[in-house]
Homo-oligomer: A and B are copies of this chain.
Amino acid sequence: MTTSLQLISTATTNGVLEREFTLGDVHGMLWSPADVDQAPVVLLGHGGGRDSKAAPMVGRAQLLTAAGFHAVSIDAPGHGDRPCTARDERETVAMQHAMEVGEPVGPIVVPYNLHLAERAVPEWQATLDALEQLPGIAGPFGYFGLNMGTAIGIPLTAVDPRITAAVFGIFWYDETLAEHARRIKVPVEFALQWDDQHIPRQSGMALFDAFASTEKSLHANAGAHKDVPRFEADSMVRFFTRHLR
């Protein structure tokens, strides 16, 4: 992987500078307030089956740039236009099958996402290295990611001291993941759906419990797996405003 960002396209829309880039074979997006020199950066980790340009990333990037942050997202391995390995294809089929027949998806999603994290963490770290070469980007850095974005973000935050605040959630307890979480001491906000049909309440809460952070907040909202309320996006912006500004 090369260590410098290659800009693919640049556009300014409604005061937001949007830069599409590649770093080696990793595709990503960098959103910046057009009128700001130095600003903290929030890394946006997308969910499974989505990519760096998916609507939830764009929406959160809009909120973050409006609050004076850079936001950056990269395609996870096997996502977006990136090539799929045989395992990627196998796991996707298994997941879809489990969904269709109503079997638990956790036993498939958890190990697969942890496998993806092993591939994604060095990519995020290389992206941070490259971002720091850009003018106006010197940190501090925060990380946001739910679902697969949590499976990748927890080991990333555990290993990279540049990330000083993180928002996670909507993921299962797993002993390997909890081991990473126990090494995280930065402030954490963690979302959980109280009526999640895939993730048992106790499982999400056990993962939240694992963080060593002295400041950590669990936001458990009524509703099903995909019904995380929109006001949690505002809460995320305020969380990073408290910790990165």
| A213 CB–B CB distance under 8 Å | yes
Using C-beta atoms within 8 Å of the partner chain, give the interface range for chain A: 10 to 19
Interface string of A212-233 (1 = CB under 8 A from B): 0111111111100000010100
Query: Smallest Cβ distance from A12 to chain B, in angstroms?
Result: 30
| A234 CB–B CB distance under 8 Å | yes
State the oligomeric state as a number of copies. Answer: 2
| A90 CB–B CB distance under 8 Å | no
Cα distance A15–B115 in the bound complex, in angstroms = 57
Cα distance A234–B217 in the bound complex, in angstroms = 14
A217 and B220 contact, CB distance less than 8 A: yes
Q: Residue of B at shortest CB range from A187?
A: B222
| A194 CB–B CB distance under 8 Å | yes
Cα distance A214–B234 in the bound complex, in angstroms = 20
Q: Pick the contact of A216 from B209, B218, B222 — CB < 8 Å? A: B222
Report chain B residues within 8 Å CB of A218.
Answer: 194, 218-221
| A6 CB–B CB distance under 8 Å | no
Cα distance A219–B215 in the bound complex, in angstroms = 13
B238 and A234 contact, CB distance less than 8 A: yes
Q: Pick the contact of A219 from B213, B219, B242 — CB < 8 Å? A: B219
12 CB-based A-B contacts, threshold 8 Å: A194-B218, A213-B222, A214-B222, A215-B229, A216-B222, A217-B221, A217-B229, A218-B218, A218-B219, A218-B220, A231-B238, A231-B242
Chain A residues in the interface with B (C-beta under 8 A): 194, 208-209, 213-222, 229, 231, 234-235, 238, 242
